[in-house]
Structure 1
Amino acid sequence: MTDTADIKDLLLSRIRDVPDHPEPGVMFKDITPLLADPGAFTALTDALAELVVRHGATKIVGLEARGFILGAPVAVRAGVGFIPVRKAGKLPGATLRQAYDLEYGSAEIEVHAEDLASGDRVMIVDDVLATGGTAEAAIQLVQRAGAVVSGLAVLMELGFLGGRTRLEPALAGAPLEALLTI
């Protein structure tokens, strides 16, 4: 399957809406049906890997937790390394840590600094771009480690939440690629 419209239709058909999750008024986009379908998961992996190759990435940073599920097979398909960005306190040894704000509070993520080096071109991969807080923190971590962000690739962007606008300054001209915009 190579037609972009066909891939988008396939991906959309495998994303389930779950009303009022995790709280009333929220329409959660559940990707587990997509992951359970080998054809759809392969199409998603191939589409994201093509973006990684096109933008010259040498490593993928995957954001906990669904960014791990998507980023690891994309890294294998693209022939690049995979670096997990975890919630604070989950990685052993020395890490770089970055705080960021959530809708209701704050959080921190971290990465092993030695996994990234100057000269690395990093594509950040995640499932959903919402408000952009986690992605912005990941961009800052990659830059603090001395690597270059070659782009951000997501399965879907929730355009109405404004994450793209928030991330444009941090990306400094690197592309933000969303396979689907909802």
Structure 2
Amino acid sequence: MFTGLITDVGTLLSVEPRGDLRRLKIASHYPHDGLALGASVAHNGVCMTLVGFGPRSERDGYVSWHEVDAAAETLAVTTAGSWTPGDKINLERALKIGDELGGHLVSGHVDGVATLVSRRDFDEMAHFEIEAPKELAKFIAEKGSVALDGTSLTVNKVDKTRFTILLIPHTLDVTIWGGRKAGDRINLEVDTMARYAARLVEAAAE
């Protein structure tokens, strides 16, 4: 589980095709001695398992590298299939018992891919309009939570399949959202509570 609070922004170093999966190598600011094989790390909201890691000696600001495998299903239902070397990646390590839950509970299991329709900047903040896949729009509600590229965000307004969010300067600075623009595809995970609530309503009507 994750909180949707991004703890680092890494850079994708390489993409290596391996049959139906791709091995991704990412540089990060995480100390390598704090990483572990089999650990879970969210990459733009996609939970992936570390299969390799080590220190970096290059003077590029990053102190470690790690590798993960993106399976065929992940490549098909998330934006991972279009990632290329040089891309910036939102990173979050898995939640530990006792950690502060500052965002909302995020599973790292992306439900679908949304599209950024428009961006409006003002007072160092940014207002985004997002188009959600039709089948997921019913789980998105005003003042509710949503995870976009792994970032826990509050929904401002909803109009059918479109919704808006407002990002403060801090979020724009410490995530990849500062570079987001109209037309970008974004990993979307709906709030688990919203999914259960919708299912209860459906069950009551059956």
Task: Place the TM-score, normalised by the shorter chain, in its bin.
Answer: under 0.3
Q: Which has the higher contact order (CA 8 A, sep 6+)?
A: 2
Q: TM-score of the superposition, structure 1-length normalised?
A: 0.27
Which structure: larger Rg? 2
TM-score (normalizing by structure 2): 0.25
Structure with the larger strand share: 2
